[in-house]
């Protein structure tokens, strides 16, 4: 039976009773309230890793799952009534987007979110069961898979998690208030983060999803080319508990991946007439020392650098900025790499988002459609990709390493790979981290 979730300290049954619903209605339908809450949590926390933000909800899918009935003597769709109740109780917030179609009719999209003050309470397995197969219901909303994605979906069944150990780790992390890396959300830098009730609930839900094997693929074919599963956004602290056919995994990380991918565009743009600064850039990204060098340039200019968010900050101010703000970091970059900076500006002339989409698409083309596809063709199937990294057991590292190198060389790039065995932290190490 699939798990559905409840907010800690809040009983939907009691709230329904206070609102005058009959015992029969509550007994038969309270799971539907948890179902909608779980959908919002799943989309915002597991797939998008953006708790507290609005997510689009497929109302037609909810109607298919929940049906309709007479409620308090009125014929109504369950989804409408339940969302109305959950927003009245301030468990959810909603907003609508109205769009006019070509035939002058209107289409309304519903967005829901769990407010931050509710998320802070944490969530846990609901006291009632769902009769629905949520995985099957999700799959009906997905486009059919083809090509390499069929292989990826097929072999995800090899992935598991040491759930007992992962939950024990999460419990101890919550008990000692394990410090977490700083995180930037929009313009706000969140520092002094610890494993609190909300983070603990997020971790537990993530463990549940992997343990249940809810690995259906979602492919963003039009924008980024990336694919997502329920463990794409698995917190990095839980990755050491992942297994492939019961074996521990090693992370093969492409150093400076997106700046390296941009090197392809620079080669295409400048051809045989490569400016000196472009060649310097290409040397750095291929040696895997680009970020370190850029950081030194920024520090030399007496700018403040947050170590834990440096890459995010760099991309936000240089590669992916709107070009409407004259960031000092961009001026520093322009001083050292004027031809590269000019190419960045050129790619963002039509729409500043095009550069980020281009880099992610090119990265997916190399790592998924070339590296992963070749691994499958040659019979190496014990691995999974996660954007700019491949995870595999130690005994197939050499094979994977070799093919990554060959496929990148085939497009004219030398690649630096950092291999990192994912070892499970001991409780003693956990306590040391918290000290």
Verify that 243 and 108 share a domain, yes or no: no
pLDDT confidence of residue 342? 94
Residue 9 CA, chain-centre distance (Å), reads: 28
Q: pLDDT tens across 405-416, in order? A: 999 999 999 999
pLDDT confidence of residue 403? 97
Residue 327 CA, chain-centre distance (Å), reads: 27
Token pair of 83 as six digits: 């969302």
66, 99, 133 - which closes a domain: 133
Q: Are 65 and 78 in contact (CB under 8 A)?
A: no
SS3 string, 115-137, reads CHHHHCCCEEECCCCCCCCHHHH
Token pair of 70 as six digits: 């007479």
Question: Widest CA span of the chain, in angstroms?
Answer: 78
H helix or E strand, kind and range, residue 374: helix 373-377
133, 157, 186 - which closes a domain: 133
Could you give the CA distance from residue 188 to residue 184 in angstroms, rounded to a whole number?
A: 6
Mean pLDDT of 132-157: 73
DSSP state letter for 195: -
Q: Are strands 106-113 and 93-100 parallel, antiparallel or unpaired?
A: antiparallel
Q: pLDDT tens across 196-232, in order? A: 999 999 999 999 999 988 887 888 888 888 888 877 8
Which of 189, 227, 249 lies closest to 397 in space, CA to CA?
249
Q: Which residue is it, tokens 């919002």?
A: 40
Q: Which residue is it, tokens 């797939």?
A: 47
Could you give the CA distance from residue 236 to residue 386 in angstroms, rounded to a whole number?
A: 12
At residue 402, φ and ψ (nearest 5 deg) are -65, -45
Identify the domain containing residue 401 by its residue range.
142-435
Verify that 339 and 422 share a domain, yes or no: yes
115, 133, 151 - which closes a domain: 133
Which of 3, 434, 433, 35 lies closest to 211 in space, CA to CA?
3
Verify that 285 and 172 share a domain, yes or no: yes
pLDDT confidence of residue 430? 54
Residue 165 CA, chain-centre distance (Å), reads: 23
Verify that 302 and 242 share a domain, yes or no: yes
What is the residue-wise DSSP string for 40-87?
HHIIIIIIS--TTS-EEE-HHHHHHHH-EEEETTEEEEHHHHHHHHHH
Q: pLDDT tens across 311-349, in order? A: 999 998 999 888 777 899 999 999 999 999 999 999 888
Verify that 92 and 148 share a domain, yes or no: no
**Number of folded domains in the chain?**
2
pLDDT confidence of residue 1? 45
Residue 305 CA, chain-centre distance (Å), reads: 25
Q: In DSSP terms, which residues pair with 103 in a beta bridge?
A: none
Sheet holding 247-248, edge to edge: 159-161, 242-244, 247-248
pLDDT confidence of residue 341? 95
Token pair of 52 as six digits: 């507290």
**pLDDT at residue 135 tops 50:** no
Q: Are strands 227-228 and 218-219 parallel, antiparallel or unpaired?
A: antiparallel
Token pair of 353 as six digits: 């988002």
pLDDT confidence of residue 192? 85
**pLDDT at residue 134 tops 80:** no
Taking the alpha carbons at both ends of the chain, their separation in whole angstroms is 40
Verify that 193 and 81 share a domain, yes or no: no
pLDDT confidence of residue 233? 83
Sign of CA dihedral 360, 361, 363, 364: positive
Verify that 37 and 63 share a domain, yes or no: yes
Which of residues 140 and 318 earns the better pLDDT score?
318
Q: Under DSSP, is residue 389 helix (H, G, I), strand (E, B) or coil? A: strand
Verify that 324 and 238 share a domain, yes or no: yes
Q: pLDDT tens across 260-287, in order? A: 999 999 999 998 899 999 999 999 999 9
Which of residues 380 and 420 earns the better pLDDT score?
380
Q: Under DSSP, is residue 430 helix (H, G, I), strand (E, B) or coil? A: helix
pLDDT confidence of residue 141? 52
Which of 383, 49, 362, 6 lies closest to 231 in space, CA to CA?
49
Mean pLDDT of 150-172: 94
pTM confidence score? 0.86
Q: Are 112 and 40 in contact (CB under 8 A)?
A: yes
Verify that 117 and 83 share a domain, yes or no: yes
Verify that 60 and 180 share a domain, yes or no: no
Token pair of 186 as six digits: 């929009």
Verify that 148 and 127 share a domain, yes or no: no
Verify that 117 and 260 share a domain, yes or no: no
């Amino acid at each position: 039976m699939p798990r559905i979730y409840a907010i800690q300290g809040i009983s939907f049954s009691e709230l329904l009773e206070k609102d005058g619903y009959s015992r029969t209605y509550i007994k038969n339908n309270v799971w539907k309230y948890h179902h909608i809450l779980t959908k919002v949590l799943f989309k915002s926390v597991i797939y998008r890793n953006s708790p507290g933000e609005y997510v689009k909800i497929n109302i037609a899918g909810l109607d298919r799952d929940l049906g309709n009935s007479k409620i308090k003597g009125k014929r109504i769709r369950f989804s409408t009534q339940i969302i109305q109740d959950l927003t009245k109780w301030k468990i959810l917030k909603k907003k609508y987007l109205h769009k006019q179609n070509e035939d002058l009719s209107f289409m309304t999209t519903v967005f829901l979110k769990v407010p931050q003050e509710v998320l802070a309470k944490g969530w846990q397995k609901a006291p009632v069961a769902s009769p629905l197969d949520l995985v099957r219901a999700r799959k009906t909303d997905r486009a059919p898979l083809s090509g390499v994605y069929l292989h990826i979906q097929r072999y995800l069944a090899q992935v598991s998690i040491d759930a007992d150990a992962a939950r024990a780790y999460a419990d101890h992390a919550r008990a000692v208030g394990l410090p977490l890396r700083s995180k930037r959300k929009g313009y706000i830098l969140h520092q002094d983060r610890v494993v609190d009730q909300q983070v603990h609930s997020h971790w537990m839900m993530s463990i549940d999803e992997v343990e249940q094997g809810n690995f259906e693929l979602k492919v963003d074919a039009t924008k980024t080319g990336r694919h997502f599963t329920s463990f794409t956004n698995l917190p990095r602290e839980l990755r050491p508990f992942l297994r492939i056919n019961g074996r521990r995994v090693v992370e093969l990380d492409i150093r400076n991946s997106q700046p390296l991918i941009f090197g392809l565009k620079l080669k295409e743009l400048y051809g045989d007439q490569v400016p000196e600064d472009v060649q310097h850039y290409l040397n750095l990204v291929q040696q895997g020392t680009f970020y370190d060098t850029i950081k030194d340039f920024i520090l030399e200019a007496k700018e403040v650098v947050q170590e834990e968010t440096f890459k995010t900050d760099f991309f936000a101010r240089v590669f992916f900025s709107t070009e409407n703000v004259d960031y000092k970091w961009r001026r520093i970059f322009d001083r050292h790499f004027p031809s590269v900076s000019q190419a960045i500006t050129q790619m963002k002339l039509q729409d500043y988002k095009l550069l980020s989409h281009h880099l992610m698409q090119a990265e997916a083309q190399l790592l998924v459609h070339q590296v992963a596809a070749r691994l499958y063709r040659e019979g190496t199937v014990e691995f999974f990709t996660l954007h700019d990294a491949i995870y595999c057991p130690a005994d197939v590292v050499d094979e994977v390493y070799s093919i990554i190198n060959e496929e990148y060389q085939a497009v004219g790039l030398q690649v630096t790979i950092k291999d990192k065995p994912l070892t499970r932290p001991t409780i003693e190490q956990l306590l040391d981290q918290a000290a």
